[in-house]
Amino acid sequence: MMSSNDELSVPREDLAEAWQQTLPERLSGGDKAEVLADEADPRTLRVNIKTAGHQMLEFDFAVQYVDAREIDIQLTDVEKDGQSVDERTDIMQELIVDYRRHLHETAQALHHYTHP
């Protein structure tokens, strides 16, 4: 059970907005991100990242706050030009690892916001 001072107390719309402002600063040039609050779970954000260039890849992640400091990241979908693709290839795994790192960096950058 979480202690009350470790619980996430930021309104989900405010949290999504803070992520929307911070995540693009951590992505590679040209990559685009959209962050939305999950309607079903106030501790979860839905993150869509579109790669730059002609690859037309989109990665969807669910970022859930376990508590005010720790996040859990789940890859929910990878698409190329609107079609689901196999994310198990080496190139896809490298991109996924890279994006997961950027998501963790964003959460760390927002610690002052989520854990006052």
What is the band of 2 on the pLDDT scale with cuts at 50, 70, 90?
very low
Who has greater pLDDT, 54 or 85? 85
Does the pLDDT of residue 53 top 90, yes or no? Answer: no
d(Cα 72, Cα 114) in Å, to the nearest integer? 15
Q: Indicate the burial class of 11 (C-beta count within 10 angstroms; 0-12, 13-18, 19 or more).
A: exposed
Domains, the chain: 4-111 (3.30.310)
So what's the pLDDT on residue 5? 55
* CA-closest candidate to residue 17, choices 100, 99, 114: 114
Q: What is the pLDDT of residues 75-103, one digit of tens each?
A: 999 999 999 999 999 999 999 999 999 99
Rg value, the chain, Cα: 14
